[in-house]
Each structure stands twice: as structure tokens, then as C-alpha cells.
Chains A and B, each alone.
Chain A
């Protein structure tokens, strides 16, 4: 028997569904009401990206990658999964990359003269960003989860990656877009796989976001 045939995705997820939900909840509980500050930053970033203010839009997102890297991954996820430590540092690196791109990137701005809805990448960016910003937490609340369990930009990894992916699609162009979108896309894939293994329904929504994101990144404006 080939040894690799014996591996299943489940072998790489070292915790149960119950523990995963408690992790989300404990982060929400510990930092309440920081959720609102995260939401204000996310909303402002999307708004500015749509107005062609790409650099400031990216700068508003960057520090939250460091926050999520530290409080979500290094401080909590890493106690459950040794990979959490590496992922935490990758999140911090994305925060730095977004800042560098915003401050020194050659041309990250949208072409503010063309209406945004004419571009597929912009459209998929808007859908993804708005879903990560408001759709994800709203769905959790509507499904009866508590305010602490609702995943929110700036505290939890998935909405942070989604809002960023969306804003990058709207605001960043050419090769820069690939660079800025790679880490959010890779994290979303890891998260979707983890959630599928744990039998969590929202993995389907994440796969759709990934597909829309890839389409948007690959689109030649």
C-alpha cells in the first residue's frame, strides 16, 4: 500500500468542530466590543477603494492582519495546531506587505475615470468585500449564533481575508494584485478545507469566494 493513500484531510486537522467554534467565540468574547472598530475600518476601506483612494484603503487594512496574526493565530490557534504559529507570522507578513504596497507600490490605484462596475474584477471585489464585511457576521447572527460567535473583520481570519481580497481586487492592479491576494486566497483555501473536514456548512461560501477571487485576480482589465 502506498503510504500517502492512507492519509486523509482529517489527519491534518487536530481539533474537533466544537473546539473550532469555541475558538471563534472566545476571540469574540475576549475583545468585545473591538468588533465595531474593525467593522468601521473595513467599511471605510471598501468605501475608499471604491472612490479610487487605493493607498489609504490598503493602509486601513494592514494593521488588522497583524492583530489577527497575534490574537487569533499566535495566541490561540497555535495552542491547538502547531501550524498556527507559522500562519500567524504569515498574517503579520501580509500586514507588512499591504503597508509597503500602500506606501511605496508603483501604481496600486484604481482607474477612477472608468466606472467600477464595468470591470469584472471590481465587481467580484465588491461582492467579496461586502460579504466579508457584513454578510458573514450577519449570516451567523441570523443563524442564531451569539454576537461573540459571529466572525468579524479584524478579529477573525476569514472575514479579514475576504475584505482584504475584495479591496485588493478593487484597488490593486497588475502583478501587485497577485502579490497582495495570494495570502488571503491561500488562507481561505486552508480554512475552507478545515471547515469541510469538520462538516461546517459555511465552507461552501468560502469556496465560492475563492472562485470569485481567482476570477477577479486573473481578469485582465
Chain B
């Protein structure tokens, strides 16, 4: 074995946590592992392409207008996201200046290969899908979007055919629909069952699990990728837990869960139908915490049940 290979083998050992566990015996091996492992990905069913399990949202958090100070602050958040292997950024014409804020950050940082741009068509913004696409592409400073979704199902009969046309023209790679807060699930299910979609986006978190009964099984059956929005229930869930509770010891032992971000996000992305969770944040420290949740061991079915029981008991 030459020097270089030996060094690589050693680095791999560090990567698996073996050396850190040996060097820091007080530290749980699984925790050491979690701190060094890479962000995990899951395949998009319609293409097999892999997508990192933690993405980022931009509702409220990235709507900063043309304020230079806040634009730079959000650029630092995006930088932290990409430096930890982040891919999917989700926005919408409904989110005020958020698309422009992303555009600013991409101009400052350059758009890395891992970027998976996800936008929406939102009827009240006016214009058809093609017109909204053109203005959003300009705001982001990119030519194509990876994913365009029909926001909240609004006018989906009108928008989906046009999005499909644009997918054929290779302006968009994937198309989808969104809902949130448990709204319009019956119609959502109908569209999932009858239309050809690559993605759906819906609200799924440890306190909002209605989608487990019908929408998630249907997504698996139809080969549709699932994005979970509002993973922290808009922030109140994680902020409340952080204020009042301690992460249970068994979660740390079973799947290297050290923070509430780990607990809440690992719960979401460990569901077999889920591809990606998209927490939104204004803070670099929170982004780092969120991205960390996409690495290391994930809870299995039994652990997931225990997690639900634990949260319900609080």
C-alpha cells in the first residue's frame, strides 16, 4: 500500500467515526459518525437522479426586499447550505422578493452543480406558466428550472399542460403540485392519481401526519417524489421544543440524534416515500444544524413510532 492510499484509508476511517470514537472514547460512536458523514440523498423515482434529503425553503425568511445588509446575510445562509452539500432551494412568486434574494446569492456565490432549483406557478401573480417562468428565471439569474410546481393546486388544469409542454422543450426538468397545512387533500389525491407528475410537495412533520394514510402511499405507488414543507410547523414546533425540552437520550443512542433539528428532520426524511424536507431559516447556525440532520443513521420504523409517542406525550 503506498502512502497516498494509506492516507486515504485513514481519512475514510475518520469519516466513519472509528478513529474519532477511538480518540474520544467519551463520545458516542454514532454521534461521531453523524458529525462527519455526508448529507444523504434519495433517488427521484421518475429519473433515478439523486437528490439531497435536506433542501431549503424561502417563505418569509428570504423576503428581504433590496436591503443590502439583509441580502448579504441571506447569502451567508445559502453559502452554508451549499457548503454542506445542499441541493434543493424552493421558492414561489408568492414569496415577495425571495426569488431575487436567491438570485443575488447565486450571483455572489456562483451556482454550484448541486443546485436543484424549485419554483412555482402561482396564479395571483398574473400571467401564464410560461410568463411566470421567464420572470422567475430572470430573478434567479438562471436559464432553466429543475422543478416547477403548481402552487397550492391553483388553476392546475390550466398550468399543468403548459408545464408539461415546457418540460418537453427541456426548459424544466420536473413538474409537480403543492399543498400545505393539510389543505385540499382530496383534490390533491385526485390530481396525483390522474396526472403524470414527478413531484408533490405537502406538509409533513411529526405533528402533522395525515398524509401518511393516503397521499404518501399513493406517491410511492405512482413513483412520485415527495417534498415535505413546513417541517417545523412554521417554526413554532422546533422553537417550542428547544425552549422547553431536552432531546431524549435514546434518540442519541439509536440514531445519533443530538439536536431537535436532527429529531424532527430525521423523522421526516426517514419515511420511505419522502425525498426531501425543506426547512427555511434566516440563520447560518440553524442552517448548519438543519443540514447536519441529513447525515448519519436514520430512525427505523420502530424508532419512528417511539418518536411519535414521545412527542405526543409532551
Structural contact, A22 and B70, CB atoms closer than 8 A: yes
A149 to chain B, nearest CB (A): 14
Structural contact, A6 and B181, CB atoms closer than 8 A: yes
Q: Does B60 contact A (CB under 8 A)?
A: yes
Q: In the assembled complex, which residues on chain A have CB atoms less than 8 Å from the CB atom of B234?
A: 10
Complex Cα–Cα for A20 and B69 (A): 13
Structural contact, A15 and B282, CB atoms closer than 8 A: no
Q: Does A36 contact B (CB under 8 A)?
A: no
Q: In the assembled complex, which residues on chain B have CB atoms less than 8 Å from the CB atom of A6?
A: 181-183
Contact of A19 among B64, B95, B124, B184 (CB under 8 A): B64
B114 to chain A, nearest CB (A): 27
Q: In the assembled complex, which residues on chain A have CB atoms less than 8 Å from the CB atom of B64?
A: 15, 19, 22, 80
Q: Does A115 contact B (CB under 8 A)?
A: no
Contact of A15 among B60, B66, B69, B184 (CB under 8 A): B60
A35 to chain B, nearest CB (A): 20
Q: Which residue numbers of A lie inside 8 Å of B, CB to CB?
A: 1, 3, 6-7, 10, 13-16, 18-19, 22-23, 26, 76, 79-82
B191 to chain A, nearest CB (A): 16
Contact of B282 among A18, A23, A76, A81 (CB under 8 A): A18
Structural contact, A22 and B69, CB atoms closer than 8 A: yes
- How many positions in chain B have a CB within 8 Å of any CB in the partner chain? 22
Complex Cα–Cα for A22 and B97 (A): 15
Interface digits, B65-80 against A, CB 8 Å rule (1 contact, 0 not)? 1110110000000000
Q: A3-B184, A14-B63, A14-B94 given. 13 additional CB < 8 A pairs?
A: A3-B183, A6-B181, A16-B63, A18-B282, A19-B65, A19-B70, A22-B67, A22-B70, A23-B65, A26-B67, A79-B96, A80-B64, A80-B97
Contact of B60 among A7, A14, A23, A76 (CB under 8 A): A14
Chain B residues 182 to 197 lying within 8 A of chain A, measured CB to CB, are 182-184
Closest 5 CB pairs of A and B: A6-B181, A79-B65, A15-B63, A80-B96, A14-B96
The binding surface of chain A is classed by DSSP as helix
Complex Cα–Cα for A26 and B70 (A): 12
A128 to chain B, nearest CB (A): 30
Whether A19 contacts B183 in the complex (CB less than 8 A), given A80-B97, A81-B96, comes out as no
Interchain residue pairs with CB less than 8 A apart (24): A3-B184, A6-B181, A6-B183, A7-B181, A13-B60, A14-B96, A15-B60, A15-B63, A15-B64, A16-B63, A16-B282, A19-B64, A19-B65, A19-B67, A19-B70, A26-B67, A76-B65, A79-B65, A79-B66, A79-B96, A80-B63, A80-B96, A82-B96, A82-B124
Q: Does B168 contact A (CB under 8 A)?
A: no
Structural contact, B65 and A80, CB atoms closer than 8 A: yes
Interface centre among B59, B95, B181 (most CB of A within 10 A): B181
Q: Which residue of B lies closest to A13 (CB)?
A: B60
Complex Cα–Cα for A18 and B283 (A): 12
Structural contact, B96 and A16, CB atoms closer than 8 A: no
B219 to chain A, nearest CB (A): 20
Q: Which residue of B lies closest to A76 (CB)?
A: B65
Whether A14 contacts B67 in the complex (CB less than 8 A), given A6-B182, A6-B183, comes out as no
Q: In the assembled complex, which residues on chain A have CB atoms less than 8 Å from the CB atom of B61?
A: 16
Complex Cα–Cα for A129 and B183 (A): 44
Q: In the assembled complex, which residues on chain A have CB atoms less than 8 Å from the CB atom of B97?
A: 79-80
Q: In the assembled complex, which residues on chain A have CB atoms less than 8 Å from the CB atom of B181?
A: 6-7
Q: In the assembled complex, which residues on chain B have CB atoms less than 8 Å from the CB atom of A7?
A: 181
Whether A14 contacts B95 in the complex (CB less than 8 A), given A3-B183, A6-B181, comes out as yes
